[in-house]
Structure formats: structure tokens, C-alpha cells
Amino acid sequence: MSNIAGKIWGQTELIHKNGVLEFHRIDYKAGYKCSEHEHKYKWNGFFVESGKMLVRVWQDDQGLVDETILKAGDFTQVKPGKVHQFEGLEDGVAFELYWAEFNHDDIVRRTSGTVVDNKVVRLDTKKSKK
């Protein structure tokens, strides 16, 4: 599956996507920026193969902008809900990934459980051998 699209900052090529991941190869040009944007649910990762890229992330709770400069071999990721943008500092190639993360702390309990008939059964102890 290959899908190439021209952009103001260069071009992007979709290499693979499935229900939980997108993988793109991007050619970016020095002095050009992508839009300031955010993803509601997806993480956005950047791995630079060549050139130099600046990634900006707006910190909405403080009014600050974090800036990370990536060179060949560097990787950074942006959390969902964070406004971000990349800018080419030198012409280059990067791989852009999007993924959703399984939340291990997603349980919301209505009760804390109960003991039936005042009997507690422990499954984490070994039975003694007779």
C-alpha cells in the first residue's frame, strides 16, 4: 500500500496503516512548517532518518512552547491533545507514526466487591501436600 501526497512542506507517503497504527515516510524541506494541530486520541511520533527537524509542542496549562531539535537517529513523541508542529531546519527524511495507546488504568469501579456467605477463597496460596 503506497499513497503519496504533496504538502507545502514536502511530501508524505503512507507506508502502512491498520486499526491501531499509521506509518508514513515524509520528505520535508528546510524553512517549511506543517500546520499547528492536535490529535484527540492518537500519539504522534517522529523518527528522523536524515536532515534536521524542529518539533514544537504547546503546553496549554502554562502558555509555553517546548521545542525539540531532531537530527538523524533521533525520535520524539507527542501526547494526544497537545497542539504541535514540525519545521524543517535542513532538508530531510523522517518517519511519522500515529498510534493509539491502550490505557491500563481505564477501570472505573462502582463497588469494591463483596464476600459471599462470609467465605473468602484465596487462589494465590498453594495447597499443602498430604
> How far from 65 is each of 9, 76, 83, CA to CA, in Å?
21, 15, 9
CA 43 – CA 109 distance, rounded (Å): 27
Smallest CA-to-CA distance from 46 within 63, 64, 22 is with 22
Q: If you search the block for the grid coordinates 496549562, which residue do you land on?
A: 61
pLDDT classification of 127: cutoffs 50, 70, 90: low
Banded model confidence at residue 120, pLDDT cuts 50, 70, 90 = low
Whether 86 and 75 have beta carbons less than 8 Å apart is answered as no
pTM confidence score: 0.76
Tell me the three-class secondary structure of 16-71, residue by residue: EECCCEEEEEEEECECCECCCECCCCCEEEEEEEEEEEEEEEEECCCCEEEEEEEE
Euclidean distance between CA atoms 65 and 85, whole angstroms? 10
> What are the pLDDT digits (tens) for 44-70?
999 999 999 999 999 977 789 999 999
- First-to-last C-alpha distance (Å) of the chain: 63
Helix or strand or coil: residue 130?
coil
Residue 38 C-alpha cell reads as 492536535
Q: What is the pLDDT of residue 124?
A: 65
Digit-coded pLDDT (tens) for 68-118:
999 999 999 999 999 999 999 999 999 999 998 877 777 777 777 777 776
User: Would you state the pLDDT for residue 43?
Assistant: 95
